[in-house]
Chains A and B, each alone.
Chain A
Amino acid sequence: MNQTTAYPISPLDSPPKRPPAKWKKHIWGYLFLLPAVVIFFTFLWMPIGKGIIFSFYHIDFVKGDTFVGWDNYERVFKDPEVMISVKNTLYYILLGILIGFWIPIVFAISISEMRRFQGFARIAAYLPYVVPFVVLYGLWRWLYDPVGPINAVLTRIGFDSVLFLTDKAWSMISIVIMETWQSFGSALLIYLAAILSIPRDWYEAAEIDGAGVWKRIRHITLPAIKNQIILLFLLQLIATSQGFQTQYALLDGGPNNATLTYALLVVRYAFTRQDYGTASALGVLMFLVLGLLAVIQYRMSNKREA
């Protein structure tokens, strides 16, 4: 044990060592961040910046752009299709919540309560999510066909057949049902992971105290996954407010604009009418609304962490 605690004393005349500069201390961190920053900047911040600038221009990729001030925004506010698309988008968001939001929660809780075949149920629920969109649309077109299986069942039990896609009252509902079927699996996995991370002894204690299934769900499961519910609710709001793919592919915004969403209108302005300036103005307005939602989500998650 010849260990010594003594350490060499530096000579008095040598200058004191300066602590390394802050940036030097973190240089490796910054370097690791660099690729992400470059990618985000190139593919996210730059396009957002360009979009804002484009919204004040008449865009012509060949002959050059012309500054038009607030003209594009004026056109947006004068176009009656904008109001139709806003209403349709709000309706789509609402339907998404009413029809689609609670389903993954129910399925996740049900699967977590299963004693057997849990793995199979998990895979079966997630499978629709990996179905390619082309197949999805073909499949649901067949299901929704006026002489397809759903209508066959409806007429067999005495109902009139429903024109799921071409009846204005049904078209958006049909789209939401189809999208819910396709995408609830991914949300389900998030909820299921949260549920399975709840300590089992909480449930055991509740069972000992005589709590049944409903009471366990109400007093343990739901409060425990509250954060995930709020997070996924906000993410669903953001995602559905940008929805256009199914509306475009299945009905191209019809019948008579019944499924014309705001994002689809942006696509029409940009790529059908080649009016990139007005499309950018629409995009900027959408960005402001979605930005607000993102801030709310950020603040809420911060509050929860605190």
Chain B
Amino acid sequence: MRKISTVIACLLVFSLVLAACGSKNNNNASPSASPKSSTAAESSTAPESSEAPPAVDLTQVKATISVYYPTPDQVEKRALEDDKIKRFNEVYPNVEVVKSDWQYNPNEIGIKMGANEAPTLFNTYATEGKFLAEKGWAADITELYNNYDKKDQLNPILLDQFNLGGKIFGIPQQGYVVGTVVNKKMLDDKGVAVPALDWTWDDVLNTAKAIADPAKGISGIAPMGKGNEAGWNWTNFLFEAGGEIQKVEGGKVIATFNSDAGLKAIEFYSKLKEASVIPADWALGWGDAVGAFAQGRTAMVIAGPDGPLDQGLNQGGLKPEDLIVYPMPAATAGGKHTGVLGGDFLVINPNATPEEQQIAFQYAVFDYFSDKGLESTEANIQARKAENKYFVPPVIQYFKQDSEYGAKVKAVYDKYDNVYQYSNELMGLLDGKPEAQFNTQEYYAAMTNVIQEVFSKKGVDLKAQLDAAAKTVQEKFFDQIKVE
């Protein structure tokens, strides 16, 4: 026994010594200090008017870039990407484009960057801009953006989310304002009146009450209750009530979601629970809630509209006339229909060489504003039509809707009856509001606990719950931040 203990102890000590030799610290060279890398941290300290590198003919550059590639289940999107790679290689014949089907995940990005395995160009969400930039995991592409001849045509609503202190860290792909998608067929089948688009919280509650049938497992509305999605869903109601997640005062971040507006929003959630209009099994994540919607187990779901529409039309067997996209309801009549503004972005890996970064940028915008890109989209719509599937465009495009290119795209959409069209009334009512700038996920997690308490218990002291969550977020996270 003693011998074995000695051997184990020796192995442990040996491991510690080796691990210590291998571990990094501030004094050691980190990947960001390597000559080929240029992290956001470095870029942010670099002077704006740094000397421009000598002009290189990128079409002749020999390089390899790995790019975001859709997952195997997204057959149509993969076909579009394959076509794009083929056309890209016709212009940049010496560039090898490696497909990476890694999908951005906040739980994996740290490991990917640590192992230097993140693709040269990867996808991410609107919430992640500040986080990625601060961590040094997104390259500062301001210079590339400034040299882009169509930069002024990019949609500023989206671009602003990755514009941090005048520096650009991401390329917008598409966006959304969170709305409520309603299964009109369920309402019609039960003879429930369809509310006006300019609806309120009361309309939501009344419609949900009319449609809910707990004995059959049918709910009126399915607010997400599992994971951080729960906090994200609730934040829409906070915004509609006029509340804010946080404010910055004297260089400090202060939690404000426990305000009167916050209380009003959580009281509304409590009303939904008391009226038994939410699923009895309310622990639903995004996939669960949207899946329940597509299966006709809930009449309303809160999300970026294109997701539930796509699932309802292409998997749930619903027709466009069976579904209505609503803006988020106003707290009271005449109020704003504010929803969280979100979207998908492409980010360039700061560990890539400057040349690779340039090529990755060119790849990202290769189809932007091009007729070829539009032809490719049209081919995709036709392919979907042949399979009796619908094409659901994003609510917010990377380009301005009223631009020349926007009109061209609209003309293509108008040619096909399998393209879902958002109503003009809806587009006029949508009011997007960006998410919190600091510790968004931690705030969502804290609010998720409050929501779960409200959904699982009766007689919860709502104000006390909100205050406790705000205190936790404040002390654990916000107090660590110094805003400069």
**Nearest-CB distance from B46 to chain A (Å)?**
16
Size of the B side of the interface (Cβ < 8 Å), in residues, is 59
> Would you call B26 and A65 a contact (CB within 8 A)?
yes
- The listed residue (B12, B136, B283, B476) touching A166 by CB distance below 8 A is B283
Majority secondary structure of chain B interface residues (helix, strand, loop or mixed): helix
B441 touches A272 (CB 8 A): yes
- Name the CB-closest residue of A to B108: A271
Q: Which of B15, B16, B445 contacts A272 (CB 8 A)?
A: B445
B282 close to A271 (CB less than 8 A): no
A142-172 to B contact mask, C-beta < 8 Å, 1/0: 0011110000000000000101011110000
Closest residue to B4 on the A side, CB-wise?
A: A298
Distance (whole angstroms) from the CB of B21 to the closest CB of chain A:
10
Q: Are B12 and A45 in contact (CB under 8 A)?
A: yes
Report the Cα distance A272→B228, complex, angstroms: 10
Q: Contact partner of B11 among A41, A57, A144, A251, CB < 8 A?
A: A41
- Bound-state Cα–Cα, A63 to B115, Å: 13
Nearest Cβ distance between residue B424 and chain A, in whole angstroms?
Answer: 39
Cβ-defined contact, A54 with B23, below 8 A: yes
Within 8 A of B (CB), among A239-288: 250-252, 254-257, 268, 271-274, 276
Known: A65-B25, A165-B283. A48 touches B214 (CB 8 A): no
B41 beta carbon closer than 8 Å to chain A:
yes
Contact A49 B19 (CB under 8 A): yes
Contact B16 A168 (CB under 8 A): no
Cα-based distance from A167 to B452 in the complex (angstroms): 10
Q: Which of chain A's residues 283-304 have a Cβ closer than 8 Å to chain B?
A: 299, 302
Other-chain residue from B26, B214, B283 in contact with A254 (beta carbon distance below 8 A): B283
**Does A67 sit at the interface, judged by CB under 8 A?**
yes
Note all chain A residues with C-beta closer than 8 A to B281. Answer: 141, 144-146, 163, 165-166
Q: Is the CB of A63 within 8 A of B16?
A: no
Q: Does A28 lie at the interface of the complex (its beta carbon under 8 Å from any beta carbon of B)?
A: no
CB pair B448–A254 under 8 Å, yes or no, is yes
Q: Chain A residues with Cβ under 8 A from B225's Cβ?
A: 166, 254-255
Partner of B20, one of A53, A61, A302: A53
Q: Is the CB of A64 within 8 A of B226?
A: no
Cβ of B214: which chain A residues have Cβ within 8 Å of it?
A: 146
Cβ of B45 under 8 Å from chain A = no
In the bound complex, do residue B456 and residue A49 qualify as a contact, i.e. CB atoms below 8 Å apart? no
Task: For residue B231, give the distance in angstroms from its CB to the closest CB of chain A.
Answer: 12
Give the residues from 444 to 484 in chain B that come closer than 8 angstroms, CB to CB, to chain A: 445, 448-449, 452-453, 455-457, 476
A49 in complex: contacting residue of B15, B25, B30, B350, CB < 8 Å: B15
For A248, the closest partner residue in chain B by CB is B227
- Do A256 and B449 touch (CB < 8 A)? yes
B32 touches which one: A48, A54, A62, A274 (CB < 8 A)? A62
Known pairs A57-B25, A272-B106; A64 contacts B456 (CB<8 A)? no
Q: Per-residue CB proximity of A215-235 to B under 8 Å, as 1/0?
A: 000000000000000000000
A299 and B14 alpha carbons, distance in the complex (Å) = 25
Cβ distance A197 to chain B, nearest Cβ, rounded Å: 28
Alpha-carbon gap, A65 to B19, bound state (A)? 14
Contact digits for B6-41, partner A, Cβ 8 Å, 1 yes 0 no: 000001101111111011111010111100000101
B378 at the interface (CB under 8 A from A): no
Q: Does A24 contact B (CB under 8 A)?
A: no
Determine if A163 and B280 form an interchain contact, defined as CB atoms under 8 angstroms apart.
yes
Complex formed: what's the CA distance from A79 to B452 in Å?
20
Chain A residues in 8 Å Cβ range of B441: 272-273
Q: Separation in Å of the A275 CB from the closest CB of chain B? A: 10
Per-position binary interface string of chain B over residues 273-304, scored 1 when its CB falls under 8 Å from any chain A CB and 0 otherwise: 00000011111010000000000000000000
Query: Is residue A139 within 8 Å, beta carbon to beta carbon, of the partner chain?
Result: no
Q: A254-B452, A255-B456 are in contact. Are A271 and B107 (CB under 8 A)?
A: yes
Which residues on A sit within 8 Å (CB–CB) of B226?
A: 251-252, 254
> Quick one: CB contact mask for B211-254 with A, threshold 8 Å, 1 for yes?
00011110000000111000000000000000000000000000
* Interface pair B16/A251, CB less than 8 Å apart: no
Identify A62's interface contact among B12, B136, B215, CB under 8 A: B136
Pairwise interchain contact A61-B449, C-beta atoms closer than 8 A = no
When C-beta atoms are compared, the residue in chain B nearest to A67 turns out to be B25
Whether B25 lies near A66 (C-beta < 8 A) is yes
22 contacts between A and B (CB under 8 A): A45-B15, A48-B12, A49-B19, A53-B20, A61-B115, A62-B32, A63-B135, A64-B32, A66-B26, A145-B217, A145-B281, A146-B214, A166-B281, A166-B455, A166-B456, A254-B225, A254-B283, A254-B449, A255-B453, A255-B455, A256-B452, A272-B106
10 pairs of A and B residues whose beta carbons are closest in the complex: A61-B114, A49-B15, A147-B217, A49-B19, A146-B280, A271-B107, A64-B30, A45-B15, A50-B19, A256-B452
B residues at A contact (CB < 8 Å): 1, 11-12, 14-20, 22-26, 28, 30-33, 39, 41, 106-108, 110-111, 113-115, 135-137, 214-217, 225-227, 279-283, 285, 350-351, 441-442, 445, 448-449, 452-453, 455-457, 476
